[in-house]
Amino acid sequence: MMEDNRKLIVSASPHVKSVHTVRGVMLDVIIALIPAACAGVAVFGFRAAWLIALCVGSSVLFEYLARRVMRRPNTVGDLTAVITGMLLAFNLPVKTPEWICVIGAFVAIVVVKQFFGGVGQNFANPAITARIVLLVSFASVMTNFTSPVVGGADAVSAATPLSFLGRLHGAAADTTLSALLESGSLPALSQMFLGVRPGCIGETSALALLLGAAYLLIRRVIRITIPAAYIGAFALIMLLVSGFDLTYVAYELLSGGLLLGAFFMATDYTTSPINTLGKIVFGAGCGILTAVIRLYGSLPEGVSYSILLMNIACPLIERFTAPKYFGYIKQKKEKKAGDAA
C-alpha cells in the first residue's frame, strides 16, 4: 500500500472543465479582427497601423492603471482591453489626431468599462460609446474622411458613400441612385466589397470582416443569431423603403459600419442578451434603429447609436424574453383563482 499523507482536493462537481478560457475566447476575437486590420492598412496606409497600435497600447495602459489605482486585481491578461483598442481604432477616420485616439481609449476603458466594475460589468460597449463621445466632441475631425491610398493615390478629403446615400431620402432628397452611380460619386459595388472607399479604418472591407466573422462562427465564439437578426431586419426595411431595389440595398449593407457593428460589436458578450429570443430582439432592434437613423435621422450613420441604445435596453430585453425553463408550469392563473376563492 502506497502511503501518502498529502491531502486530497475536495471541491464541488464537475471535476473536469472544458478547454475554454476567457483569454482563449478573447484571443479568438483578436484573430478574427486581424483581417480587417490588414485591410485597413492596405486601404488607408501605414497611419492606420499606427493608430491601431496607439489605441491598443493606450487601452491596455489605461486598463492597467485603472485597476492599479482602484487596487483591484490586474486584468490586462484577459486581452479584453486589446479588443476594445482595436475596435476603437476601427471606428476612427485615418486622419484622427493621436491625442483624440488617447482620449477615446480613456473614455472606453476607464469611464465606460472600469467605472462600472471592469469586464462583464459595463452596460454599454466601450468602443462604441467612446466613438460616440468623440463624435459629439470633435464632430469635424471625426467626420473628416479621406479617400483610399490604394495604388499610390494621394489621401484627400472625401465624402463617404453613406453621405451620398443620405441624399436619396428625407425632406432634402435631391438626387437618385442612378444619378449618383452615373456621376461616379459612389464606388463600384466590387470596390465597396473589397473596402476601397472612404470610411473609418476597420469598417470598409466587407471581405475582411466576413472572413473574421466566419472564423468566430466556426470557433463558436459568437452565434449567428444577432448578426442575422441585425442585418436581416435592416435589409428588410431597406428593401421595402426602396421598393425592392437590390443595388441600393447592397450599397446600404456595404457602407458605413454595418458589418463591423453587426458581427463584432453588437455581439459583444457583456452588452447583449444571452438567450436566443433576446438575441433576436436585440439584433432586430439594432437593425431597425440603424435603418431609421440612416433614413430619417440628421446623421448619415446610425450603427453606433443603434447598438448603444440596444445595449441600454439589454437587461430589459433579457428580462422580458427570459426562456421558459424545462418543465415550466404556468402557476399564476391557478394562484389567482385560489385567491378569489
Partner 1 sequence: MSRLRADAILKAVARGRGGVRVDHHKITAECETVRMPIPPRVVLPMQQHIGAPCVPTVKPGDHVDVGQVIGDSDKYLSVPIHASVSGTVKSVADTTLANGRIAPAVTIESDGQQTLYAGLEPPAVHTKEDLVKAIRASGLVGLGGAGFPSFVKLTVKPEKPIDTLIVNAAECEPYITVDYRECVENSYDILSGVYTLGELYGFKRIIIAVEDNKPEAIRILKGIADRDLHDGNVVRLMALKSRYPQGAEKMMVLSATGRVVPQGGLPADVGCIVMNVGSVAFVARYLKTGKPLISRSVTVSGDCIKEPANVRVPIGVSMREIIDFCGGFTAPPAKILSGGPMMGTAVVDPNVPLLKSNNAVLAFSEPAVRRKPNSDCIRCGRCHAACPMSLMPTEIEKYALLGDAVTLSRLGTSVCMECGSCAYSCPAGKPLVQYMRLAKEVMRNAGVK
List interacting residues with partner 1 (CB under 8 A).
1-2, 4, 6, 8-18, 20-22, 24-25, 75, 78, 80, 118-121, 269-270, 274-275, 322-329
Q: Is 213 in contact with 32 (CB distance < 8 Å)?
A: yes
Minimal distance, residue 338 CB to partner 1, in Å: 15
Minimal distance, residue 269 CB to partner 1, in Å: 4
Phi, psi (rounded to 5 degrees) for 196 = -85, 80
Measured from the CB atom, is 277 or 299 closer to partner 1?
Answer: 277
Instruction: Report the C-alpha gap between 61 and 235 in whole angstroms.
Output: 39
| Residue 143, burial from CB neighbour count under 10 angstroms (0-12, 13-18, 19+) | middle
Measured from the CB atom, is 6 or 298 closer to partner 1?
Answer: 6
Minimal distance, residue 52 CB to partner 1, in Å: 23
Measured from the CB atom, is 165 or 229 closer to partner 1?
Answer: 229
CA-closest candidate to residue 258, choices 191, 174, 192: 192
Q: Is 234 in contact with 253 (CB distance < 8 Å)?
A: yes
Minimal distance, residue 18 CB to partner 1, in Å: 5
Minimal distance, residue 223 CB to partner 1, in Å: 8
Measured from the CB atom, is 2 or 171 closer to partner 1?
Answer: 2
CA-closest candidate to residue 128, choices 108, 143, 110, 147: 108
Measured from the CB atom, is 113 or 294 closer to partner 1?
Answer: 113
| Residue 99, burial from CB neighbour count under 10 angstroms (0-12, 13-18, 19+) | exposed
